[in-house]
Chains A and B, each alone.
Chain A
């Protein structure tokens, strides 16, 4: 219980800070909407083509938006020199990881919740289905689990905005492929059974990287 109370304190601090500045949600949302609109103009002619390319567009957009958002996860801690303040508190390093991860997850889900209906309208596709929402939530969990770890790693480097995507994208390729394939099937109206192999891959990725990131975060932050 104590673990979760402190996790929530860190997440709440991030939410409060974000509510004051709207630094992450506002800028990432603008980026997301711009990308969706640009792709809509680029592929807007044929509905058949749209069904084919929409899953890729959706996940490219969310992947880049996610990197922008995750880049900001540890930067305020570093810029305000508060990371050491957290590290000297009587909490395990894992509390910091989970607290920061939940904050990033919340911000990403808010951005996706706003972007998905707009995507549905612009591309005229049934994006707001239970299948696609499930894929989005599970993919975002894995994405943020890895991203939070690499964000902590990149924040100590000089070119942190460059370092994060370079480290991060090769690792998240499997979950993005899984998400694109599962989304493609969902948009084609396939049943849950057809999606299940891809959902299992996404679920396995989430489980593995949540555990691995949780376990190695201490070394990343201390060394």
Chain B
């Protein structure tokens, strides 16, 4: 799996002058961002700030309109497929097929991710999210919470070194969210790079080392957990996103 082949000297994410427009609407307006390996970065922002667009560009779902983006030292424009091996995306949706069983879903994705020793890895990730006994049930028959746990198993299949979490708390309940966090920290000797977008200031402050506020497609605030408490973050958020 190429997901484990990291370039240690390169930054996990490097973004320069990133813009993304939809017709006349400019969703991202010149984002500059450097993220080191192993950092957990939380991006806050109101609705329409550009958080999901930024995650979609970083995860190669969308092409940037201008600017350069590199992930793990690889330029997004030329190495999208290689980048996708290294990232895992947890979004609002589970990306699971309701008519297939949990096992079939995991097997399907593990084929697309070139996971070696598929069967063993599927059982490993299923055990991580305590899904082993439900592996042969159809996804459509699983509860929302169980589907969420399966979605976590799906994203861990290929051992991504960079995790992109786009407002996962809207798709994950509290239990699944804790499970995701535990699973992200449990696997591998090296710390994963985590980029999380959220509305939830308290949760974000708890999870992130570095805190960014995005508003109207721009990074308007940057701070660190060491320098902020919740009240300070709330004040910074209010101040940065006002008007």
A residues within 8 Å of B by Cβ?
2, 5-6, 9-10, 13, 16-17, 20-21, 76, 80-82, 84-92, 222-223
Contact = CB atoms under 8 A, between A and B. Distances in A.
B62 A80 contact: no
A215 to B, nearest CB: 16
Interface stretch (B91-99, B204-212, B214-222): B91-99
B99 A20 contact: yes
B76 to A, nearest CB: 12
B112 A6 contact: yes
A16 B104 contact: yes
Interface in B139-162: 154
Contact of A90 (B89, B97, B113): B113
B60 interface: yes
B87 interface: yes
26 contacts: A2-B114, A6-B112, A10-B112, A13-B97, A13-B100, A13-B104, A16-B99, A17-B100, A20-B99, A20-B100, A20-B138, A21-B99, A80-B93, A80-B96, A82-B97, A84-B91, A84-B95, A85-B93, A85-B96, A85-B154, A87-B61, A88-B60, A88-B89, A90-B113, A222-B63, A223-B63
B59 A17 contact: no
Nearest to A6: B112
A88 B60 CA distance: 7
Interface string B69-102: 0000000000001101101010111111111100
Contacts of B63: 222-223
Given A9-B111, A82-B96, A84-B93, A89 B61 contact: no
A9 B100 contact: no
Contacts of A92: 81
B63 to A, nearest CB: 6
A17 B97 contact: yes
Nearest to A5: B111
Contacts of A85: 93, 95-96, 109, 154
Interface residues of B, number: 32
A178 B204 CA distance: 61
Nearest to A14: B97
Contacts of A13: 97, 100, 104, 108
A154 B84 CA distance: 26
B111 to A, nearest CB: 4
B1 to A, nearest CB: 10
Given A16-B99, A20-B100, 8 more contacts: A9-B112, A17-B100, A20-B99, A21-B99, A81-B94, A85-B109, A88-B84, A91-B84
7 closest cross-chain pairs (CB), A and B:
A85-B95, A81-B93, A90-B84, A89-B112, A9-B111, A20-B99, A90-B85
A91 B100 contact: no
Contacts of B100: 13, 16-17, 20
Nearest to A2: B114
Contacts of B113: 89-90
Nearest to B108: A13
Contact of A91 (B81, B91, B94, B97): B81
A80 B97 contact: yes
A76 B113 CA distance: 21
Contacts of B61: 84, 87-88, 222
Among B89, B100, B108, find the residue whose CB has the most chain A CB atoms closer than 10 A. B108
